[in-house]
Amino acid sequence: MSERLVVIGGGGAGIAAATIAKRVAPDMKVTLFTEFEDIAYSPCGIPFVHGREIEKFENLFLSTVERYVEDGLDMRMETTVTDLDLDKRTVSFKGQTEGFDKLVIATGFVWEKPSVPGANLDGLHYVKNIRQAMEFDKLLDDMKKAVVIGATPLGVEMAGNLGHRGLEVHFVDEGPWALHEVLDPDVAQPVHESLEKRGVTLHFGTTLNEFLGDGNGRVRAVSTSAGEIECDVVIVCLHKLPNNDLAAAAGVKVGSTGGIMVNERMETSVPGVWAAGDVIEVPHGLTLIPIRGLTGSHAYAQGRTAGANAAGEHRAYDPVWVPWGLVGGDYTIGGFSLGETLATAVGVPYVVAKGVGVSRARYFPGATRTNVKLLAEPGTLKLIGAQIHGGEGVKERCDFLAFTAKRGATLHDIAWMENIYSPPIGALFEPMAIAAQNGLAELKKAGQL
Amino acid sequence: MSEPGGIKRRFRATTERYLTIAAFEAMRGRYPDAGSRPPAYRQNAFWSRVFVPVYARIPWSVKQKVMKASGMTARGWTPPPREPGTPWRPPAPK
């Protein structure tokens, strides 16, 4: 009898694990369980359909259930696994029980809910499921005022997109600036300006007190430390929490972030059980402190590692340097690893190198300013983080810097790197090199070089 | 009795919260014109007035050792060497 692999979860990590396992071991029986009706779509694109930058939700689908069935996967759609017995090696669902030899847990995340009165009122919307988003999008046509709670990446995208759609948007967070958990205030400033241009009113440093109902069970306003904000809808964009109840109840070890602990092969504490995606924690490349709640590309890569190893290969996943980026309003921001705020909080010593360049030849139409801030380890000057803001090319620079930092590149390496000069796509002076050169000059001036 | 993992999670969440709030204030001082607002978090005096200043005085190398010894860093992982010039290696054969 062929070996049986069960994958729980149909997001990026789950589908990657299932498809790679089947590819590596074609004789393996691979069964994927998902509680949802759909699979293989990009939830990250949902805010941009609401903002009408993407025409329709159907464009977000990347594949179909039928396609995976053709590839040999046993797809159990709308089937929630309700119990997991790791001694008997069984999963339970819809009153049935089925056995497995190997298991990949990719149950993803659930949204943190606000812990204030009124959090169960109708009219509080969470962005996750595409079918709910389709229905919600129709309702948005008749709405005028929205409150977005949580200055997280999703919060910034939802606030900017609803503003783009023409709604009056109020953006509320206790923190001091947008994306304060990853972004430095100097980089957040242009994001604030861009959001305000889209009609978003910022309420940072503002405590959420209560959601106020209309007497019929629906939210009509949000009570905050800065006063009451009337609204038609509230979009809740707080933290992603690992959806680990099933795994933890079955005895899989959970770490200091609440995510499932895995080693570099994505193996959990239980032999024959792997995990991947938003439900796990992985170490940060510099500090080796476990972190979680990363991007879809991290989830997919972890799923591939878990699936390949479950199918008998020996693949390792590296600690993460977390390149990230997003569009806040009309402005692109990004970075990797640590910014000044996070480095200060953790207590990691650093020196800063800053510079401004252009994304293509300055005379070429469409050129944008590219602001680069590099963080390096004092002494060795090895890169440990960066934040970049501007227009085009932010994403590629962040990917590049994360990779070079992982390999130990220093400010010296970046200062004298080669770069492409071609007027439509690249300027003579690379902005990252300008920043590194400036940083080295400052260190020399300060007698630290 | 609380399970050990739960205590570790709560400790980490609490310390992260207070260290981050202190970092916000440091950044607001460093970038006074960036348009940020004073954060509105409720705070406990022990963590903000005792833990944060003590943590700030401990050198990073000592913090790293303590984190490792207390199991706050990941186990079962081999970070790639961060030495310039170290060539990429193909995965080990099965």
Same domain, A208 and A134: yes
Which domain range does residue A259 map to? 4-37+77-109+240-310
Same domain, A341 and A441: yes
Domain boundary among A220, A236, A252: A236
CA dihedral A344, A317, A33, A312 (to 10 degrees): -160
Nearest to A407 among B72, B77, B82 (CB): B82
Q: Which two tokens stand for residue A238?
A: 């707080």
Q: Which two tokens stand for residue A269?
A: 């504490």
Residue A289 forms part of a structural domain: yes
pLDDT of B2 reads: 46
CA A320 to chain centre: 13
Residue A121 near residue A211 (C-beta atoms within 8 A): yes
- What average pLDDT score do residues A89-97 get? 97
Same domain, A97 and A171: no
- Closest-CA distance, A273 to chain B, in angstroms, reads 15
- Calpha distance A156→A191 (Å, rounded): 9
The torsion angles phi and psi of A349, rounded to 5 degrees, stand at -70, 145
- Closest-CA distance, B69 to chain A, in angstroms, reads 12
Q: How confident is the model at residue A267 (pLDDT cuts 50, 70, 90)?
A: very high
Same domain, A150 and A297: no
The residue type of A211 is: F
Please name the residue that has the structure tokens 């770069």: A419
- Closest-CA distance, A180 to chain B, in angstroms, reads 8
Q: B8: which chain A residues are within 8 Å (Cβ-Cβ)?
A: 256
pLDDT of B88 reads: 55
Ramachandran area for residue A269 (φ above 0: left; ψ -120 to 50: alpha; else beta) = alpha
Is the dihedral angle over the CA atoms A273, A275, A281, A286 positive or is it negative? positive
Instruction: Write the DSSP symbol of residue A179.
Output: T
Q: A282: which chain B residues are within 8 Å (Cβ-Cβ)?
A: 74
Check A345 against B73: CB less than 8 A apart. Answer: no
Contacts of A166 (CB under 8 A, 6+ apart): A199
Residue A424 near residue A364 (C-beta atoms within 8 A): yes
Same domain, A117 and A232: yes
Q: B67: which chain A residues are within 8 Å (Cβ-Cβ)?
A: 287, 289
Check A177 against B67: CB less than 8 A apart. Answer: no
**pLDDT tens digits, residue range A194-236?**
999 999 999 999 999 999 999 999 999 999 999 999 999 999 9
Q: A340: which chain B residues are within 8 Å (Cβ-Cβ)?
A: 27, 30
Same domain, A221 and A263: no
Q: A180: which chain B residues are within 8 Å (Cβ-Cβ)?
A: 24, 39
- What average pLDDT score do residues A99-105 get? 98
The whole-chain average pLDDT of chain A stands at 96
Residue A152 forms part of a structural domain: yes
Residue A122 forms part of a structural domain: yes
Residue A48 near residue A165 (C-beta atoms within 8 A): no
**pLDDT tens digits, residue range A48-62?**
999 999 999 999 999
pLDDT of A319 reads: 97
B87 at interface of A, judged by CB pairs closer than 8 A = no
Same domain, A134 and A230: yes
- Closest-CA distance, B50 to chain A, in angstroms, reads 15
Nearest to B77 among A264, A349, A413 (CB): A264
- Calpha distance A17→A108 (Å, rounded): 13
Residue B37 near residue B10 (C-beta atoms within 8 A): no
Q: B34: which chain A residues are within 8 Å (Cβ-Cβ)?
A: 177, 185-186, 188-189
CA A147 to chain centre: 22
Q: Supply the CATH number for residue A245's domain.
A: 3.50.50.60
Residue A38 near residue A63 (C-beta atoms within 8 A): no
- Calpha distance B48→A313 (Å, rounded): 48
Same domain, A121 and A231: yes
Residue A382 forms part of a structural domain: yes
Q: Minimal CA–CA distance to A306: which of A275, A262, A282?
A: A275
pLDDT of B1 reads: 41
Residue A362 forms part of a structural domain: yes
- Calpha distance A144→A212 (Å, rounded): 17
Residue A423 near residue A445 (C-beta atoms within 8 A): no
For A193-211, give one letter per residue: b (16+ CB within 10 A) or e.
ebbeebbbebbbbbbbeeb
Check A340 against B27: CB less than 8 A apart. Answer: yes
- Closest-CA distance, A63 to chain B, in angstroms, reads 30
Q: How far is CA A254 from CA A12, A104, A251, in A?
A: 21, 15, 9
Number of domains in chain A: 3
By residue count, chain B amounts to: 94
Pairing label, strands A383-390, A369-376: antiparallel
| A-interface mutation test, from B9, B37, B63, most A Cβ less than 10 A away | B37
- Calpha distance A321→A403 (Å, rounded): 8
Q: Minimal CA–CA distance to A377: which of B84, B47, B25, B9?
A: B84
Same domain, A341 and A248: no
Same domain, A86 and A117: no
Check B77 against A319: CB less than 8 A apart. Answer: yes
- pLDDT: is A136 or B82 the higher one? A136
Please name the residue that has the structure tokens 């790197």: A417
- Calpha distance A278→A301 (Å, rounded): 12
B32 at interface of A, judged by CB pairs closer than 8 A = no
Residue A353 near residue A373 (C-beta atoms within 8 A): yes
Residue A45 forms part of a structural domain: no
Is the dihedral angle over the CA atoms B58, B61, B66, B72 positive or is it negative? positive
Domain boundary among A236, A265, A292: A236
- Calpha distance A420→B84 (Å, rounded): 22
Check A318 against B79: CB less than 8 A apart. Answer: yes
Check B80 against A413: CB less than 8 A apart. Answer: no
**pLDDT tens digits, residue range A301-326?**
999 999 999 999 999 999 999 999 99
Same domain, A155 and A87: no
Same domain, A142 and A288: no
For A394, the 3-state DSSP assignment is helix
Nearest to B72 among A256, A341, A342 (CB): A256
Q: Mark the ranges of chain B whose per-residue pLDDT is less than 70.
A: 1-5, 84-90, 94
pLDDT of B89 reads: 60
Residue A49 forms part of a structural domain: no
The torsion angles phi and psi of A355, rounded to 5 degrees, stand at -165, 160
Check A225 against B40: CB less than 8 A apart. Answer: yes
Pairing label, strands A109-111, A124-126: unpaired
Domain boundary among A186, A221, A236: A236
Nearest to A341 among B23, B55, B68 (CB): B23
By residue count, chain A amounts to: 449
Q: How far is CA A434 from CA A241, A285, A414, in A?
A: 39, 25, 9
